[in-house]
Structure 1
């Protein structure tokens, strides 16, 4: 398996190359970014290790070139930087890197990161065929938005965008799930929506031509298609496309209004029941097990209560025989009773 290493310092480049060769990898290395990029077009490396500081173009520039080249866009890419700060790591993740390590690298951490990224890449690449997610598509007038787009692998807990960021693209989910949320001035998270395979997200800010009012995070490993803002705004001028997105906006608005009404006026048990029913109806339940796959923290953030209050309510529902809880998630045993009960 061939790896590409881009590092400006020959001594460190040799040391990393020796380590990787001992681990059984074939390594092609360069001291500059552009020669490495040209080599990658022909060799198609399995993974790239790239220093952020290179003499001709920085590591973020190399990463951008990879993500903009169709044949290389999905290649796992690990940035190597001089600092281990949260700001540096966030910048790397937002730029599209799969991981970020601090120089000089620790041998064990480097090898573990490489194995982890390669394993995740091959699993995600195979997952659409194995699970049927490849069949998830968007039909009708919206199909042209995702035609011939390059899939991007996004790992669990990866931040897609944050409140206040400027929107640059529309997103389509091929596989995996995304949550959007807002954070109060007290640091409390309120989840506003979940998005499933076959859905678009991030379009509201693009249509408003304003910064994002919420953050989006992958709650499991995902495959996403990116539609540049200019392409989306051009296509949305077509009546058949604009009508589709008006329907999407209206549906999300109704769900948001119901969530706010529940939080303001409904008792705790009714709010939890409505949240569970909503997640089950929206496709949050695994098809094979019929279990709702959501963490208690995320479910509490949907309802707008403390996780401890949610745990007590779920325990009461379980004792009443309304649901079952296992390592696979929450399975509704009596959804009709949950829907009709007068609490």
Structure 2
């Protein structure tokens, strides 16, 4: 029986939701305000949380913020139930990491479907996480350190970062490194003119922050989720101990660091000397290199930041590529139709 934590200060609404959930055979835990909700979430670790926004003592945004900072509750599916239907309110909640948003009044089926979908997604994410860990088997031979590294990864919990959610800001102190289990992370720097420049794209099995953690410096860029992304975090102390104890682990991360430096050198040369068409072609190929279906979801602004050019130039060049039969673009979905020609274009 799945356990639902309901955080709601309105007695009538709370009783109605409890009745619906209990009829659907859910175990329901009730909290009458945000502060009580946080305490019960930490104490009971529910399978899913339904939370109102406007509440005394601590509002729903505060509840979500506090639970996202707790290792035991950070991955619990979180649904806002509220009468606040303004687009900015919804966007704020989703960017903070909420999984769904139900606007009052909502029907019985709408409520139950939202809960069922999130619980099923949680199971699928757990299965995917386990599969991602298995993909690291190719790193392991007879090296004791890499075996220990996989064991640590296997024991640690992943954290979900929603699309556009910030992982770290430029200037933050680095407290560890992240392993990307699923999704994509971009790292960005702002130019003096206020333009965004993407300095890196990190995909599944990539480590984020290796260069910073090895140099003992603060982050020199900002990392943001390009899409819903699961990350596994390694505290700096644990990472340093692994490097000290196991030469094979140190060798692996030196190779990762060397590849990052080489890739960034090539990227800087590309920005300095290649034409706009070549830069945009290279950016597209960087984004789809691990995509089996040769398509990617990317905004015009992100593509501009990745290719070091203006958004208007990106739009004009993509139209040219489309007219030449190289790509297909619908909204933010970009699909390559002729990869060979695009590869030749960047050379």
TM-score range, shorter chain: 0.7 to 0.9
Instruction: Give the conservation status (yes or no) of the 8 Å contact 1:156–1:221.
Output: yes
Aligned pair in 2 of structure 1 residues 167, 333: CA closer, same or farther (>3 Å)?
A: same
Using the TM superposition, give the Cα deviation of residue 107 of structure 1 relative to its aligned residue in structure 2, in angstroms.
5.0
1:228 to 1:107, Cα distance in 2 relative to 1, 3 A: farther
Distance in 2, matches of 1:121 and 1:224, equals 20
Cα distance in 1 between the residues matched to 2:233 and 2:201: 18
| Equivalent position of 1:316 in the other structure | 320
What residue in structure 2 maps to residue 63 of structure 1? Answer: 67
Using the TM superposition, give the Cα deviation of residue 189 of structure 1 relative to its aligned residue in structure 2, in angstroms: 1.0
Q: How many angstroms does 1:19 deviate by?
A: 4.5
Deviations 1:254-300 (A, max 9, x none): 2222222122222112222222333343x2xx21x222443332221
Q: CA RMSD in A?
A: 4.1
Over residues 200-227 of structure 1, what are the superposed CA-to-partner deviations in whole Å (9 max), with x where a residue is unaligned?
1123332232221111111122222122
User: In the TM superposition, what whole-angstrom CA distance separates every residue of 1:47-83 from its partner, at most 9, and x where no partner exists?
Assistant: 25387946xxx84796268x333xx5521246899x9
Instruction: Report the TM-score when normalising by structure 2.
Output: 0.73
Between the aligned partners of 1:273 and 1:257, the Cα distance in structure 2 is 18
**1:180-199 superposed matches below 5 A:** 180-199=187-206
Q: Secondary structure, in 3 states, of the residue corresponding to 1:164?
A: coil
Unaligned runs of 5+ in 1: none
Q: Per the alignment, in what secondary structure is the counterpart of residue 237 of structure 1? A: helix
Q: How does 1:4-153 map to 2 (within 5 A)?
A: 4-6=5-7, 12=10, 15-19=13-17, 21=19, 27-30=28-31, 32=36, 36-37=40-41, 40-41=44-45, 44-47=46-49, 49=51, 53=57, 59=63, 63=67, 67-69=70-72, 72-77=73-78, 98=98, 107=105, 119-120=117-118, 122-123=120-121, 125-126=123-124, 129=127, 133=132, 135-137=134-136, 139-140=139-140, 141=146, 142-153=149-160
Q: Give the TM-score normalised by structure 1.
A: 0.73
User: Does residue 160 of structure 1 match 2:158?
Assistant: no
Q: Indicate if the aligned counterparts of 1:52 and 1:79 stay in contact, CA closer than 8 A.
A: no
Task: Tell me if 1:276 matches 2:271.
Answer: no
* Alignment counterpart, residue 217 of structure 1, candidates 213, 219, 224: 224
Aligned residues: 317
Structure 1 partner of 2:334? 329
For residues 149 and 35 of structure 1, the distance between their equivalents in structure 2, rounded to whole angstroms, comes to: 23
Trace 1:239-250 onto structure 2 (pairs within 5 A).
239-250=247-258
d(CA) in 2 for partners of 1:182, 1:123:
33
Q: Which residue of 2 aligns with 1:170?
A: 177
Structure 2, unpaired ranges of 5+: 141-145
Structure 1 residues 5-48: Cα deviation after superposition (integer angstroms, max 9, x where no partner) = 357x6xx466445455457775322453686247515xx34225
